[in-house]
Chain A
Amino acid sequence: MENQDHLLQYTIPQLLRWRVHNTGDKVALREKDFGCWNSYSWDQYYVFVRMAGLGLKKIGFEKEDKLAIISDNIPETLYMAIGAQAVGGVSSAIYQTSLPEEIGGILEYLGVSIVFCSDQEQVDKVAEVRGKIPGVKKVIYEDPRGMRSYQTDPWFMSIEELYRLGEEEHLENPELFDKLVEAGKPDDVCHLCLTSGTTGLPKGAMLTHRNYINMGLQLTQVDPLEDTDEYLSFLPFAWIGEQMNSFGVAMASGIAINFPESVETSMDDLKEIGPHFMFGAPRIYETIRSQIWLKIDESYWLNRIFYHYFMKIGEEAAEYRMSGRPMPGRLRLLAWLGKQIIFRPLVNQIGFLRLRRAYTGGAALGPELFTFYQAIGVNLKQIYGQTEIVGIAYMHRDGDVRPDTVGKPLPGTECRISEEGEILSRSDSVTPGYYKLPEKSAELLEGGWLHSGDAGYIDEHGHLVVIDRISDVMHNSNGEMFSPMFLENRLKFSPYIKEAVIFGDKKDYVAALINVDPIVVGKWAEDRGISFSTYMDLSFRPEVAELIEGAVQEINKNSEKPHFKIKRFALLYKLLDMDDGELTKTGKIRRKFVREKYHDLYESLYDENMSEKRVEAFYQYQDGQTTTVDTTIRFYSMAEG
């Protein structure tokens, strides 16, 4: 591919204009409306951006003013954002699901002067906090439905009216827009991207034109895109994952962005568009896999036989493909046959037929899911990055997909692991800091490196492995770092293990309390004629202990570092539960609480002479009744090796 680095000298609006000069009549955007896909060329795209930009200017939007967008995925979102950037302003986006109070707080913090809403639902929320946001001069809306009662109030304005003002201005002053676009510098801040703060108000990461375009160029250097490729915009625009594609990748590569008809129809629209690349959180891929399983299950018997046979072949072939090794001839033939007979039509059904690459990021994805998608011929890859580095900074390369890593840095991205084990990155895409938060910014960019707050290491293949948030990691008595969540996830990848709690902070070794999966292990026991009555009974069967011991053994064998090995474990007599306060509402383990509650067990895990202990098991039933049962818990030590 030709070198595109010269694009870095442009701002986003300038790059848009560059695309207009080069491929003005090519489709840039497409939107499904009234059941039809309507296309907009780069020429038209630019005209809309000009109307929006000049319209904004006409109503008093000046250089460095802030525009906030609260909108579903519609082309107008881009017109407004890039229009604001073209006249020297800064765009920002708020999640459509935000509550009025939240919106008010963000608008105040960012000092927003104009808000763009897609429909009445969002306008209502902004109107509710009107008294608290004196800085907001106008609210512009796209869909006029239900807006009748607002029409007499000059605080609200339809986008049509804004366009009209912009066009008027352009006719009066035809050179103005070009001059404004010309005045932009690539290092100007163009967007404030909110980072998900778990506590308090979110922080606004300042991102420049160069940040976005550089990210797009870096990505397309590794995974080239044709300007005839398609992308479906269905992620919330407030998330960096969507902006990096619409500002960064689309501008840098010239692909077309498609907007679904509505949020509910996006998966159907995906089928109609058949995108060439997509990005999503693990949940999307999990949902699609469940749908495939369901459909195969409902299919007729011949299909099912083919599917199950070729799935095994596909999984085997995927192992070769993911590691980039050449496949033996017989396997290659069978994999090709499987693709033609079952996987091509299957993938076509979900709209992935043209998909060259699918990216997942944001959270860990089980290795079996990677294998599944690679087996049916979808090139699913893990990425890693933060809002502060425009989303993607690390990525798997084709033919080098390792489920437990997040891949290698993109070209132009430097990676370093600090002495505390924190992942540090440096590239042209790193934010200059947080808006109005100099202290936080200094912390973030200490020493010129972006501090991710994540702990990780680089493995022997040069891949980055992300362990956990640095605040959550533990150190053993030798001061060696390990992540309880990382090890717990490893354990939970075993189908027999439902939940696990890892201990070992300031201790000699790692130990675990394990919940067996009642359904899978129950079935396993039934198949082997092992009888059991309750969950407690099942957990205490010696055969089950042996099964889990095997699973732990397997994990220990594959552990990257010797101190990651789980040395002792015990099977818990009850499932960890939210109602008992052992899990948070989102299903995370409340480690401290669990350790206090099962203090006896915790002590015994670190007393290697102890092989069993009598405890009183305390139960609370759903109706509030409690009961106590005397029972004996056994502790298992793993063999060295």
Chain B
Amino acid sequence: MTQLLVSDVTLTFGGLNALSKVDITIEPGLITSIIGPNGAGKTSILNCISGFYHPTQGQIHYGERNLTHASPHQISNIGIARAFQNLELFRGLSVLDNLLLARHQNLKYSILHAIIYFGKASRVEAENRAYVEKVIDFMELEPYRKSMVGNLSYGVQKRVEVARALTLAPKLLLLDEPMAGMNIEEKEDIVRFILDLKKEWGVTVVLVEHDLGVVMDISDQIYVLDFGEVIGAGDPQQVASDPKVIEAYIGEE
């Protein structure tokens, strides 16, 4: 069964078509990558899926649900999480606090409970902490648990950004260039995390990435965008041999 269906989506800013008639099918449990040159509309797609933009035309369905006009918090509540290309973290808070904060939507107790901090409130907090620790263990962030995010290296901050998305226990994870600006070792780490996410946690991953080597290596399905249109789709081999894709990337011979 298809997990997420983007059908015939067009997104217009003034007279400019950021996306035109895009069809994307995301199958559960797979890694689907979206690639394309700068300005091709990759991030726009993610923005549409996560509810920051609403398509001018077309529909987005998550299972049975229509997400076309859903707001970002509704979308995050149904299990779609996103790690941003530019880090969206609280630089002055510790890694632990950043991750706990990301779970605020799971804090289902009243202000009164919070003041007494007994029974439900403390139990819910403990559950949240336990979940966050699971994510810390998975992303190997133990040494940085209490460090302020602003003091960490860029590669580690990126990992915290992915971890922040994971604390929402997503079924579908949108990763916007998780490897940008990383060195080879950090990239290898992230690739391992993504593969483990798919295999161990069964999370569906949508990956926007510039590093073609990585994309070809780990993707099950690839969509190629250029000027807001899908110009190629298929498994890595099909995409790599598609003349239209080669043209978009390398130019005409």
Give A406-454 interface residues, CB cut-off 8 Å to B.
none
Judge whether B133 and A265 touch: CB under 8 Å: no
Question: Given A264-B142, A264-B143, is A148 in contact with B137 using a C-beta cutoff of 8 Å?
Answer: no
Is A35 at the interface (CB under 8 A from chain B)?
Answer: yes
User: When chains A and B are docked, how far (Å) is the Cα of A34 from the Cα of B127?
Assistant: 12
Give B114-147 interface residues, CB cut-off 8 Å to A.
129-130, 133-134, 136-137, 140, 142-143, 145
Judge whether A34 and B199 touch: CB under 8 Å: no
Query: What residues of chain A lie closer than 8 Å to B143, measured between beta carbons?
Result: 262, 264-265, 268
Query: What residues of chain A lie closer than 8 Å to B145, measured between beta carbons?
Result: 35
Judge whether B142 and A148 touch: CB under 8 Å: no
User: When chains A and B are docked, how far (Å) is the Cα of A9 from the Cα of B229?
Assistant: 80
Is A261 at the interface (CB under 8 A from chain B)?
Answer: yes
Is B88 at the interface (CB under 8 A from chain A)?
Answer: no
Q: What distance in Å separates the Cβ of A298 from its nearest Cβ neighbour in chain B?
A: 14
Is B200 at the interface (CB under 8 A from chain A)?
Answer: yes
User: When chains A and B are docked, how far (Å) is the Cα of A535 from the Cα of B130?
Assistant: 60
User: When chains A and B are docked, how far (Å) is the Cα of A261 from the Cα of B145?
Assistant: 12
Judge whether B133 and A35 touch: CB under 8 Å: yes
Is B196 at the interface (CB under 8 A from chain A)?
Answer: yes
Looking at A33, A35, A36, A145, the one whose CB has the most chain B CB atoms below 10 A away is A35
Judge whether A262 and B199 touch: CB under 8 Å: no
Judge whether B136 and A35 touch: CB under 8 Å: yes
Q: What distance in Å separates the Cβ of B34 from its nearest Cβ neighbour in chain A?
A: 26
| 4 tightest A-B CB contacts, nearest first | A34-B133, A264-B143, A35-B133, A261-B142
Residue of A nearest to B132 (CB): A35
Residue of B nearest to A34 (CB): B133
Judge whether B196 and A145 touch: CB under 8 Å: yes
Contact bitstring A12-48, B, C-beta under 8 A = 1, else 0 = 0000000000000000000001111000000000000
Query: What residues of chain A lie closer than 8 Å to B136, measured between beta carbons?
Result: 34-35
Is A197 at the interface (CB under 8 A from chain B)?
Answer: no
Is A326 at the interface (CB under 8 A from chain B)?
Answer: no
Query: What residues of chain A lie closer than 8 Å to B129, measured between beta carbons?
Result: 35
Is A328 at the interface (CB under 8 A from chain B)?
Answer: no
Looking at B133, B136, B142, B143, the one whose CB has the most chain A CB atoms below 10 A away is B142
User: When chains A and B are docked, how far (Å) is the Cα of A145 from the Cα of B140?
Assistant: 12
Judge whether A148 and B133 touch: CB under 8 Å: no
Question: Given A145-B196, A146-B196, A148-B200, is A34 in contact with B140 using a C-beta cutoff of 8 Å?
Answer: no
Query: What residues of chain A lie closer than 8 Å to B140, measured between beta carbons?
Result: 262
User: When chains A and B are docked, how far (Å) is the Cα of A265 from the Cα of B140?
Assistant: 11
User: When chains A and B are docked, how far (Å) is the Cα of A268 from the Cα of B199?
Assistant: 32
A-B contact pairs, 23 of them (CB 8 A): A33-B137, A34-B130, A34-B133, A34-B134, A34-B136, A34-B137, A35-B129, A35-B133, A35-B136, A35-B142, A35-B145, A145-B200, A146-B192, A146-B196, A146-B200, A148-B200, A261-B142, A262-B140, A262-B142, A262-B143, A264-B142, A265-B142, A268-B143
Query: What residues of chain A lie closer than 8 Å to B142, measured between beta carbons?
Result: 35, 261-262, 264-265
Report the interface size for chain B: residues with CB under 8 A from the other chain: 14
User: When chains A and B are docked, how far (Å) is the Cα of A262 from the Cα of B143?
Assistant: 8
11 more CB-based (< 8 A) A-B contacts, given A145-B200, A265-B142: A34-B130, A34-B137, A35-B133, A35-B145, A145-B196, A146-B196, A146-B199, A148-B200, A261-B142, A265-B143, A268-B143
Which A residues form the contact surface with B (CB < 8 A)? 33-36, 145-146, 148, 261-262, 264-265, 268
Contact bitstring B32-46, A, C-beta under 8 A = 1, else 0 = 000000000000000
Judge whether A148 and B130 touch: CB under 8 Å: no
User: When chains A and B are docked, how far (Å) is the Cα of A264 from the Cα of B145?
Assistant: 12
Judge whether A148 and B134 touch: CB under 8 Å: no
Looking at B133, B143, B196, the one whose CB has the most chain A CB atoms below 10 A away is B143
Contact bitstring B179-222, A, C-beta under 8 A = 1, else 0 = 00000000000001000100110000000000000000000000
User: When chains A and B are docked, how far (Å) is the Cα of A35 from the Cα of B99?
Assistant: 14
Residue of A nearest to B143 (CB): A264
Query: What residues of chain B lie closer than 8 Å to A268, measured between beta carbons?
Result: 143
User: When chains A and B are docked, how far (Å) is the Cα of A36 from the Cα of B132?
Assistant: 12
Residue of A nearest to B130 (CB): A34
Query: What residues of chain A lie closer than 8 Å to B192, measured between beta carbons?
Result: 146
Residue of B nearest to A269 (CB): B142
Give B30-80 interface residues, CB cut-off 8 Å to A.
none
Q: What distance in Å separates the Cβ of A262 from its nearest Cβ neighbour in chain B?
A: 5
Q: What distance in Å separates the Cβ of A393 from its nearest Cβ neighbour in chain B?
A: 36
User: When chains A and B are docked, how far (Å) is the Cα of A146 from the Cα of B140?
Assistant: 14
Q: What distance in Å separates the Cβ of A284 from its nearest Cβ neighbour in chain B?
A: 17
Q: Identify which of A35, A36, A148, A261 contacts B199 (C-beta below 8 A).
A: A148
User: When chains A and B are docked, how far (Å) is the Cα of A396 from the Cα of B130?
Assistant: 46
Q: What distance in Å separates the Cβ of A35 from its nearest Cβ neighbour in chain B?
A: 5
User: When chains A and B are docked, how far (Å) is the Cα of A35 from the Cα of B199?
Assistant: 24
Q: What distance in Å separates the Cβ of A150 from its nearest Cβ neighbour in chain B?
A: 12
Give B128-177 interface residues, CB cut-off 8 Å to A.
129-130, 133-134, 136-137, 140, 142-143, 145
User: When chains A and B are docked, how far (Å) is the Cα of A36 from the Cα of B133?
Assistant: 9
Residue of A nearest to B200 (CB): A145
User: When chains A and B are docked, how far (Å) is the Cα of A240 from the Cα of B50?
Assistant: 55
Query: What residues of chain B lie closer than 8 Å to A33, measured between beta carbons?
Result: 137
Q: What distance in Å separates the Cβ of A37 from its nearest Cβ neighbour in chain B?
A: 13
User: When chains A and B are docked, how far (Å) is the Cα of A145 from the Cα of B196?
Assistant: 8
User: When chains A and B are docked, how far (Å) is the Cα of A264 from the Cα of B137?
Assistant: 13
Q: What distance in Å separates the Cβ of B166 from its nearest Cβ neighbour in chain A?
A: 15
Q: What distance in Å separates the Cβ of A73 from its nearest Cβ neighbour in chain B?
A: 14
Q: What distance in Å separates the Cβ of B227 from its nearest Cβ neighbour in chain A?
A: 40
Residue of B nearest to A32 (CB): B142
Query: What residues of chain B lie closer than 8 Å to A146, measured between beta carbons?
Result: 192, 196, 199-200
Query: What residues of chain B lie closer than 8 Å to A145, measured between beta carbons?
Result: 196, 200
User: When chains A and B are docked, how far (Å) is the Cα of A35 from the Cα of B134?
Assistant: 9
Query: What residues of chain A lie closer than 8 Å to B200, measured between beta carbons?
Result: 145-146, 148
Residue of A nearest to B133 (CB): A34
Q: What distance in Å separates the Cβ of B86 from its nearest Cβ neighbour in chain A?
A: 27
Query: What residues of chain B lie closer than 8 Å to A261, measured between beta carbons?
Result: 142
User: When chains A and B are docked, how far (Å) is the Cα of A148 from the Cα of B137?
Assistant: 18
Query: What residues of chain B lie closer than 8 Å to A264, measured between beta carbons?
Result: 142-143
Q: What distance in Å separates the Cβ of B159 from its nearest Cβ neighbour in chain A?
A: 13
User: When chains A and B are docked, how far (Å) is the Cα of A265 from the Cα of B192?
Assistant: 21
User: When chains A and B are docked, how far (Å) is the Cα of A261 from the Cα of B137?
Assistant: 9
Q: What distance in Å separates the Cβ of A38 from its nearest Cβ neighbour in chain B?
A: 12
User: When chains A and B are docked, how far (Å) is the Cα of A225 from the Cα of B136?
Assistant: 36
User: When chains A and B are docked, how far (Å) is the Cα of A261 from the Cα of B144?
Assistant: 12
Query: What residues of chain B lie closer than 8 Å to A35, measured between beta carbons?
Result: 129, 133, 136, 142, 145
Query: What residues of chain A lie closer than 8 Å to B196, measured between beta carbons?
Result: 145-146
Q: What distance in Å separates the Cβ of B169 from its nearest Cβ neighbour in chain A?
A: 16
User: When chains A and B are docked, how far (Å) is the Cα of A265 from the Cα of B145?
Assistant: 10
Query: What residues of chain B lie closer than 8 Å to A262, measured between beta carbons?
Result: 140, 142-143
User: When chains A and B are docked, how far (Å) is the Cα of A264 from the Cα of B129?
Assistant: 21
User: When chains A and B are docked, how far (Å) is the Cα of A264 from the Cα of B147?
Assistant: 14
Query: What residues of chain B lie closer than 8 Å to A148, measured between beta carbons?
Result: 199-200
User: When chains A and B are docked, how far (Å) is the Cα of A33 from the Cα of B130?
Assistant: 11
User: When chains A and B are docked, how far (Å) is the Cα of A36 from the Cα of B137?
Assistant: 12
Query: What residues of chain A lie closer than 8 Å to B199, measured between beta carbons?
Result: 146, 148
User: When chains A and B are docked, how far (Å) is the Cα of A264 from the Cα of B192?
Assistant: 19
Residue of B nearest to A268 (CB): B143
Q: What distance in Å separates the Cβ of A259 from its nearest Cβ neighbour in chain B?
A: 13
Residue of A nearest to B195 (CB): A146
User: When chains A and B are docked, how far (Å) is the Cα of A261 from the Cα of B146?
Assistant: 14
Q: What distance in Å separates the Cβ of A160 from its nearest Cβ neighbour in chain B?
A: 15
Residue of A nearest to B192 (CB): A146
Residue of A nearest to B129 (CB): A35
Q: What distance in Å separates the Cβ of A559 from its nearest Cβ neighbour in chain B?
A: 46
